[in-house]
Structure 1
Amino acid sequence: MGPGYGFSGRLTLSQSLIRGLGKTVGEASLRQARLSWSAAQLKADRVASETLQAVLMAWWELSYNSGVVEIRKEAVELAKKSLAEVQSRIDKGTVAPVEALTFLTAMASREEELAQAIDNLTRQSLEMTRLLGEPGGADVSVDQAQAQALIPFDLKPDLTKVLELALENSYRIRELTVLADISRDQAKIAGEALRPKLDLLAWIQGEGLGNQSMVPAFEQFGKAQAGGAFVGLTFEMPLTNGRKRAQRAQAAMAVEVAEANLMAAAQQIRTDVESAFSKLDSAQQRWKLAQQTLGFAAQQVRATKRRYEIGTAIAIEVEQAEDAWRQAKLRVERAKTDLAQADIQIQHISGSLLSKYAP
């Protein structure tokens, strides 16, 4: 008598014949993982484009506020100059001292407007530093000459072409398209776990025994002197199909929701493109008209001042003429900013903004 040794091995084959059969079910997780990765990439690009748009919009608002501050500073200097001139005339006795009140009031108003403009510029600068992730108090300024060179005064994009590009390249549309594909793929396998199960099961087994040595055990196993085989089927099914129908109905509804979201996004894209084009066209017209108004207002200021000097106009008329001139300059600045922002909005909607600034 001695130690005994045993050795056995079994090869098993299992194949689903109904539930889980085929690549549609077997590769579902792989397909959905790839689609989810694509959706995540598109979402990242969309968020990046939205962030870039917000930064550029804020930069142009900063440019506008910088221009307003310069206009307000010029207005204060002009008011001081006008007050000095009228004070000189008062000292000479050519006009009554009461004439200074109009110019004093005007200077106080101009200084108040300048203070408000500086505050707006400061707050916009802080907003810019927030968007850029800069530490608080960082100096953010705008080169007005550079801003002027970037304004697309003669931009004439084609509405139909831009709309086609937007529907084709919009990150939001592409993201929702992938999400709809995920819902459709999930609908294909909805209720699969609740289908009847019919599996083929087969196995073959070999054994070997040895006394005092392991060699006979391996020899018996290798020569298949002892063993067995089995082939059979296993079947199971739920008593009712209620859960399976519910899962399929839920998946079908998810597909409808995804497709509805896609259609709504496409409609929103069309609306946004048309709105941006309307803003662009309006800004171009307002810029041209404001330029004309600015020229006329400057002539009116010079003419009114000459009339005041010869005594055919009163001080309030000079103030009104200068105010019209300032308002025209402000409208020019606003129109230029709106023009640049409309161009940025069109680029963002059409999916070209990110590639332009971050290739």
Structure 2
Amino acid sequence: MSRPRYQYILACALLIGSAPASAWLDAQTLAWPEQPLPGAPDHTPATRSAPVATNDDLAALGTRNRLELSVETAVGMALENNPSLAAQRLQPLIAGTFAAVERAVFDPSVFARIETSREVAERVSEDIQQNFAVRNDTERARAGIRQTLPTGTELELSLTQDLSESSRSPRQASTRVGLTLTQALLNGFGIASNLVALRQARADTLASAYELRAFVTALVADVEATYWDYLGARRRIDILENALNVAEQQSREARLRIEAGTVARVEQAAFAAEAARRRQDLIDGRAEADRLRIRLLQLISAPDGLRYERAVEPSTDVITDAAPLDAPSDYVALAERRRPELNQARLDIARNELDVVATRNGLLPRLDLFVTLGQTGFARHYGGAYENLDGGDTYDLSGALEFEYPLGNRAGHALDRRAKASLRQAWASLDNLQRVIEAEVRYALIEAERAAAQIEATAATVRLQHDTLAAEQARFDVGRSTGLLVAQAQRDLLAAELDRIDAFIAYRQALIDLHVADGSLLTRRLVDTPGELPPALPWRD
């Protein structure tokens, strides 16, 4: 070995040190595919941030006691202010800390130790056969850096300085620089087995993103459904108020005709009963609208002191025309890629595959290689000992193999069987979930088609009921009908008008359910949330 032997030790440490470990670990980052989904319907827009109403914008929405609200603004305010969402947004951040903890296992660490000791002992002189005291003073300082690599390698580079002085011998100092390498050859060997915990932690981070997306999807769907319910309740109130006015007007006209003697007195009861029924319906309708108003204000969580006292005026028009729907296979293909539950199930499979990798490695016996290389310099003091590192052939080199294997390895085999069974279970769960979600998509599509068809059907019913009421009223005017029949015709017209409003709202809500089922609701609403597409898992490529 040549003179600057310790320089070789340093060079070896640099060659297999932290740089390769960082490269191995950084290569495992998980990326989201940026390519558009194949087979997605053409009307699915690209994802970008949704317009969100800020607190300063609230003043422009209406007076302090009145809030004009469109469905888009309601969604934006909920995304900004909903406290449940604010709490859920922290979950990916919390999950990410576990990945950082697992990544830190492979970070290099610096260590140092300083110690001093004194020993006083008695020795027996062989020459004079007398006891005498011996004092030994020792000082030691040790510092270095150590690191664990994903390959199953442990490295330690250290610098040790010793100074000893005795009452029977002169002072002596030594400086040693050394490199220790420990390499697992069977159990614990390889990047695949040593990165299991880190990859699982990163998979959990991605799973939290899918959970967040599912939560946001449910929130947006809830806001929109409540908005349309509230708008429908307001429209029903208008219809009920108009029906009450008509019933009261007819009751007054019937009373005048009774007084004039043109109509029998018994006809008054039918019109009065119809007016009373309309008052009951109106009371229930107003209560339902108020309940939905409070629910909507709760979801959007407007940041002001009025909270539930604000009147809400829906400003979005009810769309009376149904847009054409795509083929069922298009929605099913979209759900296959974008449903957060499916992507979470795929991550569960990936985690179980990593468990199998770990348990398979655990079946191997433990066989470790130890290599230590060092060089020492000696002198009367520290500085001279350091300078003498290059002098002489004072070096040390040692190697060892250590073998260990539990007889039968019962625990290792049990863990391996559990991991493989869990993997099969995860695949079965994914297959079942795919079938359930496909059925949900098809159910939602059938309901959307039904609701779309009902829009036109209810329009025809309203027209016919108008004609029926007009004809019955004409017969009543000439004495060929009764107030009961006229009231029944009014009731049928009112039911038809309410059914038409319900058809509009049912269609909007059916579309919401369909877009929740195929996983595209947030994309269609231009809400930018992580977890839109299946994750890229580099270790599975």
TM-score of the superposed pair, with normalisation by structure 1 = 0.93
Q: In 2 relative to 1, CA 297–19 (structure 1 residues): closer, same or farther, beyond 3 Å?
A: same
**Separation in structure 2 between the aligned mates of residue 153 and residue 352 of structure 1, nearest angstrom:** 19
Match of 2:210 among 39, 42, 45: 42
The partner residue of 2:323 within 154, 177, 182 is: 154
Match of 2:155 in 1: none
Write the letter of the residue equivalent to 2:522. Answer: L
Answering whether residue 433 of structure 2 is matched by residue 265 of structure 1, we say: yes
Alignment-derived partner of residue 91 in structure 2: none
Change over 3 Å in CA distance of 1:288–1:123 after alignment to 2: same
Q: Choose which of 201, 205, 222 in structure 1 pairs with 2:370.
A: 201
Contact kept? 1:198, 1:235, Cα under 8 Å: yes
Aligned-pair identity (%): 21
Q: Aligned match of 1:308 in 469, 473, 476?
A: 476
Asked if the contact 2:444–2:517 (Cα under 8 Å) also holds between the matched residues in 1, the reply is no
In the other structure, the counterpart of 1:89 is: 257
Judged with a 3 Å threshold, the aligned counterparts in structure 2 of structure 1 residues 215 and 289 are, in CA distance, closer, same or farther, namely: closer
> Counterpart in 1 of 2:341?
172
Counterpart for residue 397 of structure 2: 229
Distance 1:147 1:245 in 2: 65
Give the superposition deviation at 1:152: 5.2
> For 1:337, which of 493, 499, 505 is the aligned residue?
505
What do the CA deviations read for 1:144-197 (whole angstroms, capped 9, x no partner)?
A: xx3313x55133221111111111222221221122111112211125346311
1:100-119 correspondence runs (5 A): 100-119=268-287
Runs (4+) off by over 4 Å? none
Residue pairs, 1:291-306, within 5 angstroms: 291-306=459-474
- 1:246-265 → structure 2 map (5 Å cutoff): 246-265=414-433
Query: Residue 100 of structure 1: SS of its match in structure 2?
Result: helix
Task: Decide whether aligned partners of structure 1 residues 126 and 220 sit closer, same or farther in structure 2, where only a CA change above 3 A counts.
Answer: same
**Where does residue 64 of structure 1 map in the other structure?**
232
> Structure 1 residues 215 and 287, CA, compared in 2 at 3 Å: closer, same or farther?
closer
| Separation of aligned partners in 2, 1:219 and 1:50 | 71
Residue in structure 2 matched with residue 274 of structure 1 by the alignment: 442
**Is 1:136 matched with 2:305?**
no
Question: 2:174 — aligned with what?
Answer: 6
The equivalent position to 1:239 in structure 2, one of 407, 413, 422, is: 407
Residues 279, 342 of structure 1: 8 Å contact kept: yes
Question: CA offsets per residue over residues 239-273 of structure 1, 9 Å max, x none?
Answer: 22210111111111221222122112211111111
State the partner residue of 2:244: 76
Please say if residues 206 and 224 of structure 1, whose CA atoms lie closer than 8 Å, have aligned partners that are also in contact: no
SS at match of 1:233: strand
* Superposition deviation, residue 323 in structure 1: 0.7
- More deviation in 47-56 or 26-35? 26-35
The amino acid that maps onto 1:139 is A
Between the aligned partners of 1:193 and 1:140, the Cα distance in structure 2 is 63
Q: Which residue of 2 aligns with 1:54?
A: 222
SS where residue 254 of structure 2 aligns? helix
Work out which of the residue numbers 343, 352, 356 in structure 2 matches 1:183: 352
Note the C-alpha offset of 1:2.
6.3
Contact 1:152/1:343 (CA < 8 Å) preserved in 2?
no
1:94 aligns to what SS in structure 2? coil
Q: Are residues 1:283 and 2:451 paired?
A: yes
* Aligned mates of 2:524, 2:332 — CA distance in 1: 18
Distance in 2 between the 1:219 and 1:243 partners?
53
The offset of 1:129, in angstroms, is: 1.9
TM-score of the two chains, using structure 2 as the length reference: 0.63
Gaps of 5+ in 2: 1-168, 529-541
User: What CA deviation, in whole Å up to 9, does each residue of 1:208-254 have, x standing for no partner?
Assistant: 3222x334312332225323210111111112221011111111122
Q: Is the 8 A contact 1:65 1:120 kept in 2?
A: yes
Query: Structure 1 residues 337, 209: CA separation in 2 closer, same or farther (over 3 Å shift)?
Result: same
Q: Is the 8 A contact 1:194 1:243 kept in 2?
A: no
Q: Whose strand proportion is higher, 1 or 2?
A: 2
Partner SS, residue 293 of structure 1: helix
CA separation in 2, counterparts of 1:152 and 1:339? 10
- Name the residue aligned to 1:219: 387
Which residues of structure 1 form unaligned runs of 5+?
A: none
For 1:102, the aligned partner's letter is: A
- 3-state SS of paired residue (1:148): coil
CA distance in 1, matches of 2:317, 2:413: 61
